Homo-oligomer: A and B are copies of this chain.
Amino acid sequence: MKEAEDRYPFLMACRGQSTEYTPIWLMRQAGRYMKEYRALRKKFSFLEMCKKPELAAEVTLQPLQKFKLDAAIIFSDILIPLEPMGVEFEFEKGEGPVFHRPVREMKDVERLKIIEPEEETPFLMEAIRIVRRELEGKTPLIGFSGAPFTLASYMIEGGHSRNYILTKGLMYQHRPVWDLLMEKISETLIRYLNAQVRAGAQALQIFDSWVGSLTPDDYEEYVLPYSKRIIDGVDKSVPLIHFATSSSTLLERMKQAGGNVIGVDWRVDLGEAWARIGYDVGIQGNLDPVVLFGPVDLIKKEAKRILDRAGARPGHIFNLGHGILPDTPVDHVAALVDMVHEYSSR
């Protein structure tokens, strides 16, 4: 098994090995910009699609049938483990997630469960098994989770937030509550990620989407120890990508927390970011998702710029700087994937 996996450019790049071309996949590549996905979404809610293994597997595979992507990522949502922890939520139309009983006091945290992922999110593990079977070894599959700060912010705020007033309030003013919450999330995520590896995930990504709202010192004090605990606790037989947005001032500390690859958004120059974190880890990124709205010449120019900044150094995985946007033209995605492969071939 190990031997067979070593031939995938994506997994090789995650390990810092040199590859024939720069591998590429796109965050949220399974999703709303594809008509095949939208057709299914007319029949099922977003959460139904996450929870029905056959549907999740189908959606995971849709972009791979259309584009020469170097990795699949399982279709799911970072909020999925929160429900079995005891924090129910729903997606209100066009509003993002809404938690009707947010976590704000010690008693709320005390009643949170640490989950048994095989029993409580079996649909995800089954979806991973189906995708692995369908892929027949042609493309590696990424499993994922949110990171503790990002998940804590949803639980505390009760949904998306602009200023994270309640999250930071809890963090600053009720340290024991914060620490217990972060411990419970961390323990859940270690189990959740390891279960995905057991089910067949060949790489992992941790999304700390909203951690860029913190000062570097606060990241180090309140978040880094938990992100590190998770990364330390995850099966080392698969590589791990550690991703955040608006994180340019946190990169060195994110590297301390761990990960084979650090994922960066477009706000930072990829070459400078890599020099700062050091070449002993890989880097993933970092095209602005808005660039995919075109025209194709612009997409090519920007992709070349990023590839040039990476300097043909082993360990670069091409990606967007955040998830692909809903109305992105499908043919632009195809052009990007092909162009990255062609330009980086060596």
Interface, chain A (partner B; CB < 8 A): 163-165, 168-169, 172-173, 212-218, 246, 248-249, 266-269, 272, 288-291, 293-295, 298, 305, 325, 327
Of the residues B168, B213, B248, B298, contact of A248 by C-beta under 8 Å: B248
A246 to B164, CA, bound (A): 15
Contact check, A293 vs B165: say whether CB atoms are below 8 A apart: yes
Q: Give, as a whole number of angstroms, the nearest-CB distance from A139 to chain B.
A: 28
Contact check, A212 vs B249: say whether CB atoms are below 8 A apart: no
- A325: chain B residues at CB < 8 Å are 163, 165
16 chain-A/chain-B pairs, Cβ below 8 angstroms: A163-B289, A165-B293, A168-B288, A168-B290, A172-B295, A172-B298, A212-B246, A213-B267, A215-B267, A215-B269, A216-B267, A216-B269, A217-B269, A246-B246, A248-B249, A249-B268
- Which 4 pairs across A and B sit closest by C-beta, in order of nearness? A168-B290, A248-B249, A215-B266, A249-B268
Q: Give, as a whole number of angstroms, the nearest-CB distance from A326 to chain B.
A: 10
- A216: chain B residues at CB < 8 Å are 267-269
Q: Give, as a whole number of angstroms, the nearest-CB distance from A263 to chain B.
A: 16
- A295: chain B residues at CB < 8 Å are 172-173
Q: Give, as a whole number of angstroms, the nearest-CB distance from A163 to chain B.
A: 6
Q: Give, as a whole number of angstroms, the nearest-CB distance from A68 to chain B.
A: 25
Q: Give, as a whole number of angstroms, the nearest-CB distance from A95 to chain B.
A: 13
Contact check, A217 vs B249: say whether CB atoms are below 8 A apart: no
Contact check, A269 vs B249: say whether CB atoms are below 8 A apart: yes
Residue of B nearest to A214 (CB): B267
- A293: chain B residues at CB < 8 Å are 165, 168-169
Additional 11 contacts, C-beta under 8 A, given A163-B325, A215-B266: A165-B327, A169-B293, A173-B294, A212-B246, A214-B267, A215-B288, A216-B267, A246-B246, A249-B268, A249-B269, A249-B272
A217 to B325, CA, bound (A): 22
Residue of B nearest to A298 (CB): B172
- A289: chain B residues at CB < 8 Å are 163
A266 to B168, CA, bound (A): 13
Q: Give, as a whole number of angstroms, the nearest-CB distance from A7 to chain B.
A: 34
Residue of B nearest to A173 (CB): B295
Contact check, A217 vs B305: say whether CB atoms are below 8 A apart: yes
Q: Give, as a whole number of angstroms, the nearest-CB distance from A229 to chain B.
A: 24
Residue of B nearest to A165 (CB): B290
- A272: chain B residues at CB < 8 Å are 249
A51 to B300, CA, bound (A): 48
A298 to B173, CA, bound (A): 8
Asked if A246 meets B267 with Cβ closer than 8 Å, knowing A165-B325, A290-B164, A305-B217, the reply is: yes
